[in-house]
Structure 1
Amino acid sequence: MKLEDQELLFSLFHDGSIRAIERHGNKITFSVDILYLAERINSSYEYFEIVLNDTLEFYFEDSESNEITTQPQGINKLELEILKTELIEEKIKIFCSANNGCLFGFLIINAKDIRVLDPKQNNINLKVLEVIAKNYWEEFGHELS
């Protein structure tokens, strides 16, 4: 997946919570709990699974203390929520709230390939996910007006 597509992917997961991070060598898996998108694929779905292949960097940096957390169990404890995503220096930089909004920081990802799976391990195409998200936000906007 191209870097621009990786940036788009995590932008689509705005307000999603990152859970169940596991590292297996240079492969990292985690779920993004984002009910409002997942249930549009299947009403019983609540999350997507993310698979980072050939991961070069994966860590959380606290924006105040600059403390870096690299271990999956430490990052899991932070209960990260995705707020904003940008592409900086060939890396994905995801601004997150942590510990229920008590602190903020950046999840840094540098992976050669990213796959998105549904809870039944079916691949989810980025373009399909983009359309689902666009439709959700259009409907949400109509409900507010």
Structure 2
Amino acid sequence: MSVTEELASLFTIFHDGCIENYKKEGVKLILIISCKYLAELIDPEFEYFYLELTEITLIELETFKNIPNSEKTPIILTEPTEIFREEIDIYRAAINNGNIEVNCWQVNEGLNYIANCLRLNCKTYTICDHNTNVIDLELLENLSAKYWSRF
């Protein structure tokens, strides 16, 4: 699987989670993802995952003004300070034109917009658990399958 395919799978695994915040460390962008039901399967005290993205070639959030009957021309945000100003609820992800498109939901009442698509691409990533221990995609796939098999 390519990095792009792995990341699309990872965001889909984080279904019902949210990007609560981010940190910038040099060339790394670290997304702080709350997905408590999945994190608790690693350790009952866990709540977060840390997704470190490096060599980012694209990151943007497609937004629309939240005004009834207004023109629905998208406004694209490209700065992490703008993109992650509010939590982003994660639903699923797919690959479109070689980039990851995360179907999501964000409401920013202060700037009066809603968002429903986070697009990104990067060359490498690392996923860490709540205690910043590196974990792999296969573990999360197995935990997610175990969790959802109960329904």
Runs of 5+ in structure 1 lacking a partner?
A: none
CA drift at 1:120 = 1.5
| CA RMSD between the two structures | 1.7
Distance 2:6 2:73 in 1: 30
Runs of 5+ in structure 2 lacking a partner?
A: 65-71
Distance 2:4 2:18 in 1: 21
Distance 2:39 2:18 in 1: 13
TM-score (norm 2): 0.84
TM-score (norm 1): 0.87
Distance 1:24 1:67 in 2: 27
Distance 1:18 1:45 in 2: 15
Aligned length: 139
Partner residue in 2 for 1:18:
19
Q: Secondary structure at the match of 2:149?
A: helix
**1:75 is matched with which residue: 78, 83, 89?**
83
Distance 1:120 1:85 in 2: 25
Kindly indicate which of the two structures has a greater share of residues assigned to strand. 2
Kindly indicate which of the two structures has a greater share of residues assigned to helix. 1
Residue 124, structure 1, aligned to residue 125, structure 2: no
Identity across the alignment (%): 29
| Segments ≥4 residues shifted beyond 6 Å | none
Distance 1:134 1:27 in 2: 29
